[in-house]
Amino acid sequence: MPTYRLDLAYDGSAFHGYALQPKLRTVQGDLEAALAPYTGGVPTFVAGRTDKGVHAAAQVVSFACPQLDTARVVRSLNAQLAPEIAVSAVTLVDDDFHARFSATGRAYRYRIRNAGVHQPLTSHIEWLVVDRLDVEAMHEAVAALIGEHDFAAFCRKTGGAPTTRRVEWVGWLRESDRAELAIGASSFCHQMVRSVVAVSVDIGRGRLNTVEMETILRSRDRSTGRGVAPPHGLTLSAVAYGEPLDRPDWVHRLPATG
């Protein structure tokens, strides 16, 4: 059967994460229900499962089914799934394409509103931190994460799954009353980005020194971390399939090779 790639974005506020869960509303559940009349209910595969409350600006799904009128399917999905989910494209791809296993890179953004009061229009996509943050110190600290490391101290354990990851670029930037983390890697383990944010914020508040990001990383001990930042500030911003991930010009990055 033909294989299709589906590109979508979603506001995760009202969902219990991406993946199917019994009796709970999930992005996958809504998407597969809307797709079923066209695909016959075939299983779908996703580039990165997002947790409850996490958003995606550029998520990718793949599935195999009989031939589709892709333009019609896109129109139908958007009519059914708006306003929380938007499908930008459904395209025919090579039979060996798999949204998860073919992906070579993923990028996330985490947004913080660093002000005395929340902004109602954006409070569902940013974490309000009222303490003044030293974002330059946070940016300096995350440089220790560049390269291939065991991120066990930053990852929620999931059985015996490996926790070694390769971070290609990472950095913090302040713009007015907003602080934003951008990070790109081959893949991420569970809660890794939100754990990095939690440590970064304690550094920004002055509760930890900048060198303690590296100390925690090298410990490989989850108990040395600082918990996790709230999920609603996190967005999956890009997935790459062979091509380099677009990166901001202000991040720390691995040196070019070759």
Which of 51, 95, 96, 150 is catalytic? The answer is 51
Task: Note the pLDDT of residue 132.
Answer: 97
Look up the CATH number of domain 3-93.
Answer: 3.30.70.580
Range 105-243 has CATH code 3.40.50.1980: no
Task: Note the pLDDT of residue 25.
Answer: 98
Dist CA 34 CA 106 (whole Å)? 26
pTM of the model: 0.95
> Is 134 tagged catalytic?
no
| Shared fold status for 3-93 and 105-243 | yes
- Domain assignments of the chain as residue spans, ordered by start: 3-93, 105-243
Dist CA 118 CA 122 (whole Å)? 8
Q: What is the pLDDT along the chain (258 residues), one digit of tens a residue?
A: 999 999 999 999 999 999 999 999 999 999 999 999 999 999 999 999 999 999 999 999 999 999 999 999 999 999 999 999 999 999 999 999 999 999 999 999 999 999 999 999 999 999 999 999 999 999 999 999 999 999 999 998 777 789 999 999 999 999 999 999 999 999 999 999 999 999 999 999 999 999 999 999 999 999 888 899 999 999 999 999 999 999 999 999 998 754
Alpha-helix residue ranges (DSSP H) falling in the chain:
27-39, 70-81, 135-142, 192-204, 212-219
Task: Note the pLDDT of residue 257.
Answer: 59
